[in-house]
């Protein structure tokens, strides 16, 4: 029974990108002591399977006994069974899958006509633990304006506490009726504005007034995950 419990718990950890009891308790929305109790009894509560099905689309039979498929809700599952078991993400080479699963938002957000951008989850992504921060927003890049530096369909990690624009850095900036754009920023002192410059010269430059930084800047791009 102890071996079955250990194997089942290991599958749960790999599929949720958790390594510690604290992280697992956070994912399951339970007390850490509940995990210790489960270990002592060598029994995983049925409620855990239900929660993981609802939040991650995971198959209770796979979690319990390793019977595939891994996911019963394909739209929520972004890590293949063989990828989870080998502890690597095939899409991104040697990145370890033992990390953290985070929501991924579209660049349009909830309402592209709004004056304020709000994230709208479209998928999930397993990222290395070192990539995670509490202020993280992850976007799926939908355009080619920043190619070749940032390709279409890349994942961009945004720190939404870093809204003060610094010349030369890359930021995610909300443009009403268009959605979020990712641009390298330069300062234009003559007009008291920032230039939002794409890497691809076929796309036009855009501008943001100095006083509008806090209103439209989503945050600074701190990492990018994309296929080579």
pLDDT in tens, 63-106: 888 887 888 876 666 555 556 655 433 333 333 345 688 899 99
pLDDT at 23: 84
Which residues have C-beta within 8 Å of that of residue 202, sequence separation ≥ 6? none
pLDDT at 92: 34
CA–CA gap between residue 48 and residue 189 (Å, rounded):
56
User: Domains of the chain by range and CATH?
Assistant: 2-85 (1.10.260.40), 100-225 (2.10.109.10)
pLDDT at 62: 85
pLDDT at 75: 63
**227 Cα distance to chain centroid:** 16
Q: Which 3 state secondary structure label does DSSP give 161?
A: coil
pLDDT at 159: 95
What whole-number percentage of the chain has pLDDT above 90? 38
pLDDT in tens, 19-76: 888 888 888 989 889 999 998 888 999 899 888 888 888 888 888 888 878 888 766 6
pLDDT in tens, 109-144: 888 788 888 998 888 888 887 888 889 999 999 989
CA–CA gap between residue 80 and residue 67 (Å, rounded):
13
Find the angle CA(174)-CA(180)-CA(181) to the nearest 5 degrees.
105
């Amino acid at each position: 029974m102890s071996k079955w419990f250990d194997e089942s718990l290991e599958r749960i950890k790999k599929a949720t990108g958790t390594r510690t009891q604290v992280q697992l308790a956070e994912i399951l929305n339970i007390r850490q002591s509940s995990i210790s109790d489960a270990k002592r009894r060598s029994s995983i509560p049925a409620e855990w399977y239900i929660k993981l099905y609802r939040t991650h689309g995971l198959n209770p039979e796979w979690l319990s006994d390793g019977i595939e498929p891994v996911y019963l809700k394909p739209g929520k599952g972004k890590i293949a069974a063989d990828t989870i078991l080998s502890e690597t993400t095939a899409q991104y080479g040697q990145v370890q899958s033992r990390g953290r699963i985070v929501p991924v938002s579209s660049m349009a957000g909830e309402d592209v006509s709004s004056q304020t951008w709000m994230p709208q989850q479209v998928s999930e992504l397993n990222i290395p633990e070192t990539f995670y921060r509490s202020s993280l927003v992850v976007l799926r890049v939908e355009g080619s304006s920043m190619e070749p530096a940032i390709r279409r369909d890349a994942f961009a990690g945004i720190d939404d506490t870093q809204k003060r624009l610094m010349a030369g850095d890359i930021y995610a900036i909300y443009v009403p009726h268009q959605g979020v754009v990712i641009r390298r920023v330069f300062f234009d002192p003559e007009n008291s504005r920032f230039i939002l410059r794409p890497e691809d010269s076929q796309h036009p430059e855009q501008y943001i007034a100095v006083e509008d930084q806090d209103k439209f800047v989503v945050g600074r791009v701190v990492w990018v995950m994309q296929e080579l």
